[in-house]
Structure 1
Amino acid sequence: MLRRLLAAGLFIAAGTLVEAVAETYDYIVVGSGPGGAPLAANLARAGYSVTLLEAGLDLGDNKNYSEIYNFIEAGNDEKSRWDFFVKHSEDEAREAKYEKTTWRTADGSFYVGLDPPEGSTRLGIYYPRAATLGGCAMHNGGICTLPNDADWDYIAEITDDDGWLASNMRKYFEKMEANEYLPPNTPGHGYDGYVNTTISDPSFMKQDSDFQKVASQLISHTGGDAGRDVNAADPDRDQATGVFGMASHADRNGKRAGTNTLLKKTLADPAKFNLTVQLETLVTRIIFNWEAGEPSATGVEVLRGSHQYEADPSYDAAKQGKSGRIFARKEVIIAGGSFNSPQILKLSGIGPAKELEKFHIPVVKDLGGVGENLGDNYEAGLQALASKPLNGSTGPFTVFLKTPTARKTRNIQAWCGSFSFEGFWPGFPAEYGPSQYECAIVHINPRSQAGYVRLRSNDPRQMPEINLNFFAEGGDEDLTELLDAVKTFRTALKSVDAPITPFNERHPCPGVNQSCTDEAQKEFIKLQSYSHHATSSCAIGPADDPMAVLDSKFRVHGVKNLRVVDASAFPKVPGAFPVCPTFMLAEKASADILAALAKAE
């Protein structure tokens, strides 16, 4: 009976399985985000039995998650939150200056700031992740921008795999996209995929409103228009600057599209694909056997139950879930994200030998790059208050810049509008009233990827130690580029006519008449930058690179039947927003796996 239920693709809640029956599938996929969800669906649709393991619940029908404009509510919702806390450097004096530092007070609540109540414990810099069916694609802002072509071409170059060339990767975007803002058959776009894409309505530019006046000055200083296609198949796209429409992975009604919706559609398909989704199932370790002296992944160990991971706000160390094992005939595929994928590998004996031995974990494969090379986009912003409440209506729009010291391609993507976004902390964001205006800045291709994810213990329920090591390499160059972007936006805002102006800047140089030095502004940006696009902790690279974890087909070096397919696989941070590149990565992994199966048959 159990096997028939599994074959029917039903959701399995924690604690309902009969332990005496060994679960076996062709593929185990761990994690349901933009890496794992498409891959699991594609393999099931190709005729293979697949189980998808997710530590959280399905919240796809909850409006906090299903409606893209509720992303603030989703990011603060305890039903899905995993509260990670990170560091930005090894310098404790520098860390102590981060204005949104989070503390645990003596009564168990959070305090955010630099003057905590007596008896508080410093937690660090808040970095929420989403434990729910669909992963972080269910709580993000939904911005869908393709990276520079050079980001794809770089992977092809270091691996000698032309499948990674941008000219080839475009087809995966076309496969996944269901475009709703361009005429049918526009080259380079897809219309039948599972990721609906829309842009903010550009018609506000025809209105006589304060927002139109501000946007007009931004266009005057940078070029473009609010309806321009940000993902155009244009050979000069990566040099194009100015205003664009902001594309989101949502339909025209504001409904999120991608991970959760694809899985639900696959499960409900009359073809009855052999996909099983298991919720509240925390993977604790990969199971191996040894063939000809080489480890081969055969399954995973799990804990079944709610709130099993320490990052969960409702975690209780005394309430451990029920242990279980699940086996794979073909492969185990890890898609837990840039924090949890390296943690799972290390707990399973794959990682830097010295670190594993420190925690008495038997070494299966000594791979020094597991958990290293962690990168992220630097995020900052120019925030100011107009001299009057701003009227009109508009969604945010995107601005690309190529600052004077940029390398080969544009290096800044920003989004501007009447909002406040200054990073993450419990209860974020702060609101400053109807006169607030911000251009939030994302730095493309940061020079430093010196961060790490390291174990604190061999307990799979405990969060790892995470340090992003911001600006550790090329810091002054990156800070110069961020400051140059700020200056561009500041000049545009100052050009807006009264009575909207003068703007009273909140940061990085407070006041109406800026007199801050460049050094002071760069210091503010360095201390207060934030991020939420972690990548590269299980990086793709050639076998002779001691820091490479995966080959060009996502296979873990030196381990059979084990892959990692999520944002941790990127050797460098892809563009400004990694969610749609990760969907593309999942499509490539699907194609690679199915092609190998077809060849073997």
Structure 2
Amino acid sequence: MDSKKSPDKKKSVEGVSRRTFAKRALQAGLGAGAVATGLSSAFTGNSTQFYDEYDYVIVGSGAGGGPLAANLARAGFRVLVLEAGANDPSDDTHNIPAWHPFASEDRKLSWDFFVKHYADFDQQKLDSKYVPGKGVLYPRAATIGGCTTHHALITVYPHNNDFDRIAQSTGDSSWESWNMRRYFQRLERCQYVSRPIFSNPSRHGFDGWLPTNRGNPALLLEDPAILKIVKAALAKYGLEGAIDQIITGNMNLDINHWDVASGLEGPFIAPMAADSKSRRSGVREHLLDTQAIYPNLLHIRTNALATRVLFEGNTAVGVEFLEGASLYKADPYYDESGTAGILRQVRATREVILSGGAFNSPQLLKLSGVGPAHELRDHGIDPVVDLPGVGENLQDRYEVGIVSEMTEDLALLKDCTWGADGDPCLNRYRYGWFNKGPYSGNGPVPSLVKRSKPDLEDPDLFIFGVPTDFHGYFPGYSEALRNYKDRFSWIVLKGHTNNTAGRVTLHSADPRDTPDINFHYFGEGNDALGEDLQAVVEGVKISRDIMSGPLVSKGVSRELLPGAEIQSDQQIGDFVKNQAWGHHASCSNKMGPASDPMAVVDSKFRVHGTNNLRVVDASVFPRIPGFFIVVPVYMISEKASDDIIATATGQAV
């Protein structure tokens, strides 16, 4: 049968005996009835018939797996996407850019991981966000589109060095930054820069699946207090008089211009992934649009929790999964006494691709027998390939909030009721024409890009302001945002972090269990010189300087965080160590040559020591790229599409 055509008959499950299948079901805690049902030869969903066999089976529908699945289907291959969450049942209010915090705590689509920042419990409990007995909340999403359905929409291109270093370490010139830029151009549909007629020095893309827009800077005119804060921030670059140019759009401040990727500093306006009507738009829409066009090629199976990759020898031949809702323990609706799910299998005639992210992809590899052999044996898992790097090298960025209480409510938000009956801001968003108001953006304040010290290769600080109280993630944090209209926060984000000591390890062999996640912040990590901490301290001082200057200080009642009593660098450093957080987990299946004993995948995303198995998500980066992870992941998804199609068509090098 031509593998690029949709099958005209159902095929039986092959390669795993009924006895082995039953044994796996019992190991997963399932009953005999679940096993019998699980051996059905075809799967039928609400509106789609599912087959036993596809060209490609992709685990995860987020930033890595979603664009990849769409590209493979559009190239004519049969693709199944396994998504552990449901098809997002939320109403359209979660597509409102300013409402992303509420989306991240929507119980219908969230997975709530609780992580450790430190192994030292005495240090860990100093974090005000720490939940006793659990850890620190790390919001993830389980639905079509993954975390792109709740992220803050910030769409920022990484630095050229992020890709050039991969090219150097792997010897693969296709990773060089000049070449990688074309993947950004391919996926972007830029709607805030005019399409060029001849040359394209900005190297923006204008025909891709991801619309990019910018918030309306004219909103600054509606809030004198925020306007003063912006002027004070611009003064850091000698641009305090440029505010009129910014508001009118005559000063571009385009952070995604090709020139900026070489390491420029300055104030910039970060674009957001929203369409021309100021609605969230991204992977979810791209996947569903593709499925509508190619219904016989792209199938998306929701409520399907992958439990392991199926191997014949070292060759991946399919995926085993549990069918059922809320089966993973990170799901807020997980019920220990509820259904255990139905164990099923699906075959991949070409490849299996894992795109579960920095937590779940290493977990699934280990559950499948790929990882550190000693850890696998400790949990009763027979090793298929001993790869000690699986789950190691976990990285994140450090962030802290500098929160000020203003002398009065911010004018921009004073009338907003965040969805209560008659909300004037919501009415303005829905029915406004030229200016949809504060809900239409993810913050009207330009971001500051700086080096924490002058000798750094690339800027490492991204400092941005938000008109609310935000100091990290904790249960109920989004509801707390509704309560404060007199708060302004600067968020200091430390990019290009040095610490690579985080780990993802198995808690148990139960695929429904969450792994143990410890980032080993600061002193517990391997940043021997403490440069990460020093950089964040510098960012705090920059933010404070803006708020304490003559232009802004009269409008500030008091500093809530770190607080007036925190003054010395040592005190600021302790504040940072206690209160920092991150939300760009990556690098836990790092890319590198086979000669690197800690490398998990090669430069074509292929898992070392296996055949027909790749990982395409944030976990594959050797070092965390740029400031925000989502654009680099989109780019590698596009690149992986080319690599996989080249293999399928016999053009791979």
1:141 aligned onto 2:147: no
Say which SS state the counterpart of residue 554 (structure 1) adopts.
coil
Aligned position for 1:408: 457
Aligned position for 2:311: 288
CA contact (8 A) 1:64 1:71 kept: no
Give me the TM-score of the superposition, normalised by structure 2. 0.83
After TM superposition, the structure 1 = structure 2 runs for residues 32-181 of structure 1, keeping only pairs within 5 Å, are 32-59=61-88, 62-103=91-132, 122-181=133-192
- Structure 1 stretches of 4+ moved >6 Å: 14-18
Q: Deviations over 1:282-319 (max 9, x none)?
A: 100110112xxxx0000011100001111111112331
Displacement after TM superposition at 1:68 (Å): 2.6
1:486 partner letter: V
Matches of 1:498 and 1:572, distance apart in 2:
38
Displacement after TM superposition at 1:246 (Å): 1.8
2:268 to 244, 266, 269: 244
CA contact (8 A) 2:111 2:140 kept: yes
After TM superposition, the structure 1 = structure 2 runs for residues 323-472 of structure 1, keeping only pairs within 5 Å, are 323-392=343-412, 395-404=444-453, 407-429=456-478, 430-431=480-481, 433-471=484-522, 472=525
1:276 to 281, 299, 303: 299
After TM superposition, the structure 1 = structure 2 runs for residues 226-237 of structure 1, keeping only pairs within 5 Å, are 226=246, 227-234=252-259, 237=261
Say which SS state the counterpart of residue 335 (structure 2) adopts.
coil
Q: Deviations over 1:455-501 (max 9, x none)?
A: 01111111110001111122621111111112112212222436843
CA contact (8 A) 1:349 1:365 kept: yes
Aligned position for 2:537: 483
Aligned position for 2:30: none
1:29 aligned onto 2:49: no
1:183 aligned onto 2:183: no
Displacement after TM superposition at 1:202 (Å): 2.0
After TM superposition, the structure 1 = structure 2 runs for residues 515-526 of structure 1, keeping only pairs within 5 Å, are 516-526=567-577
Matches of 1:305 and 1:479, distance apart in 2:
44
1:20 to 41, 45, 48: 41
Matches of 2:117 and 2:58, distance apart in 1:
31
1:495 to 530, 545, 549: 549
Matches of 2:458 and 2:544, distance apart in 1:
22
Give me the TM-score of the superposition, normalised by structure 1. 0.90
The 3 A distance-change label for structure 1 pair 64 and 424 is farther
2:328 to 309, 313, 322: 309
The 3 A distance-change label for structure 1 pair 76 and 16 is farther
**Matched-pair identity in %:** 37
Displacement after TM superposition at 1:63 (Å): 2.0
Q: Deviations over 1:361-399 (max 9, x none)?
A: 011000000000000000112211223333346624321
Displacement after TM superposition at 1:170 (Å): 0.5
Say which SS state the counterpart of residue 82 (structure 1) adopts.
strand
CA contact (8 A) 1:574 1:581 kept: yes
Matches of 1:253 and 1:280, distance apart in 2:
31
Say which SS state the counterpart of residue 220 (structure 1) adopts.
helix
2:470 partner letter: F
1:256 aligned onto 2:287: no
Aligned position for 2:229: 214
1:312 partner letter: D
Aligned position for 1:562: 613
What are the ranges of 5 or more consecutive residues in structure 1 without an aligned counterpart? Answer: 8-13, 104-121
1:199 aligned onto 2:214: yes
CA contact (8 A) 2:406 2:488 kept: yes
Aligned position for 1:266: 290
Displacement after TM superposition at 1:3 (Å): 5.7
Q: Deviations over 1:148-179 (max 9, x none)?
A: 11111111111001111111110000010011
Structure whose residues are more often helix by fraction: 2
Displacement after TM superposition at 1:210 (Å): 2.1
Say which SS state the counterpart of residue 156 (structure 1) adopts.
helix
Deviates more, 1:514-523 or 1:447-456: 514-523
Q: Deviations over 1:389-439 (max 9, x none)?
A: 333466243211112266211011121131222111111143463321111
Q: Deviations over 1:532-575 (max 9, x none)?
A: 10000111011111110000000000100000000001111111
Say which SS state the counterpart of residue 601 (structure 2) adopts.
coil
Say which SS state the counterpart of residue 441 (structure 1) adopts.
strand
How many pairs does the alignment contain?
Answer: 567
Provide the aligned C-alpha RMSD in A.
2.3
Displacement after TM superposition at 1:515 (Å): 6.1
Say which SS state the counterpart of residue 329 (structure 1) adopts.
strand
Q: Deviations over 1:173-200 (max 9, x none)?
A: 0010011111113531111111111112
Say which SS state the counterpart of residue 342 (structure 1) adopts.
helix
Matches of 1:515 and 1:585, distance apart in 2:
42
Say which SS state the counterpart of residue 298 (structure 1) adopts.
strand
CA contact (8 A) 2:38 2:344 kept: no
Matches of 2:616 and 2:120, distance apart in 1:
33
CA contact (8 A) 1:537 1:569 kept: yes
Matches of 2:173 and 2:159, distance apart in 1:
16
The 3 A distance-change label for structure 1 pair 28 and 328 is same
Displacement after TM superposition at 1:598 (Å): 2.6
The 3 A distance-change label for structure 1 pair 6 and 166 is farther
CA contact (8 A) 1:188 1:233 kept: yes
CA contact (8 A) 1:494 1:501 kept: no
Matches of 1:254 and 1:496, distance apart in 2:
35
Displacement after TM superposition at 1:208 (Å): 7.4
Displacement after TM superposition at 1:600 (Å): 5.1
Q: Deviations over 1:214-254 (max 9, x none)?
A: 101100113566541110011x5443223211211111322
Say which SS state the counterpart of residue 490 (structure 1) adopts.
helix
The 3 A distance-change label for structure 1 pair 530 and 303 is same
CA contact (8 A) 1:60 1:260 kept: no
Displacement after TM superposition at 1:337 (Å): 0.6
